[in-house]
Structure 1
Amino acid sequence: MSNSPKQRLILASSSPRRQELIQSLGLPYIIRVSDADETVEEKISPAELVEVLSVRKASTVLEMLEANEKEGIIIGSDTVVVYQDEVLGKPVDEQDSFRMLKALQGSTHQVYSGVACVDAATAKQVVSHRVTHVKMKSMSDAQILRYIATGEPKDKAGSYAIQGIGATIVESIEGDYFTVVGLPLSLLSDLLLSFEIQVL
């Protein structure tokens, strides 16, 4: 199947990790950073939350596109960490990072990643999510503080990055690794089939 302009992907994210993952698919793509409001007032499940925000990010980019740019599939994605029914987003400061990492150490939590694909020309959309269980090592307060001092937890859901030095504090995972990184590629490739885009 040829990669026509209609098959290009439009990634609605400024995340370097998601950009690297999109690049790995080998399809033409561009980046359009979404400035979508990520606040959700109503109480919804983590699965619903990541799907709602993924659609919102992609839809925001759709509204930003000029008429002559409306070709391709916009991809929005959102990731949250959930521990004992509490959604852990990005930490507000180092104290918040410490609170999260202290709670997560020595136990298992869930990472939810939503993916939304929106056709820029027709606004047709599909959305789904994946969940992965992550077991953290037990850590001393000193180890947690040293990890925070690396700066890595600063803008990460749950205050860690499994693809960085944070890999050293993860004992095991059950599920899709890329769900934890922030863009489940297997799920994305399935959703793209709805638009007749085949990764393989």
Structure 2
Amino acid sequence: MNSQSNYLNYQVTYQKAVAELAKKNPIEVSWKSNTAFVEQESAFCISYFNQQYRVAFPSGEVKGPDGKEPALVDKIILLHYLINAQGIPLSRQWITFKELPGGSIYTEPFMKRAIHPFTTIFGNRPELFRQAAATLGGVEQSVGDIAMTIQVLPMVPLTFVLWLGDDEFLPSGNILFDASAPSYLPTEDYAVLPGLAVKRMKRYLEHDART
């Protein structure tokens, strides 16, 4: 599928999400998603990758921390989060991507977009991984050789786990989800979201290399 087709598909998905959000009660959406609804502005204020975004209601217009529209995929993720949030508490139990509903169907794109780039970029650079994740609000966990949990959305933590390589084995990694994850986003979005996190961490490396 070419980039134009991808863009058109994303546009259709975005417009459907806007229409779905407009049907919701914003106060109910606010408490279910653990976000603030600013009535004077008729907008949701959402923490996304450790930055504040605003989603206007009922128009679905999204603004990033710089006041500009973010990428279409980010707008879709934010709208889907508001639409799907069920207000379920975090379980504090981690599951793999395959354990998400229908996860086995999306395993290949998940590996391609998230796991492979993650281990390729950070497999031999654990300290840079720690620093890059910290810029997104990441907190270190006692899993693998090094693991960082990033609170991507108010009720959507992702834990990135690295096992360092040696003379015999290449580095490996995994990305874990809270067991409550299906109550906040569809599995298709979880196939994309970790890759967006990896891209943001990669930007930290590129910025660090320039300074």
Q: TM-score, normalised by structure 2?
A: 0.25
Q: TM-score, normalised by structure 1?
A: 0.26
**Which structure shows the higher helix fraction?**
2
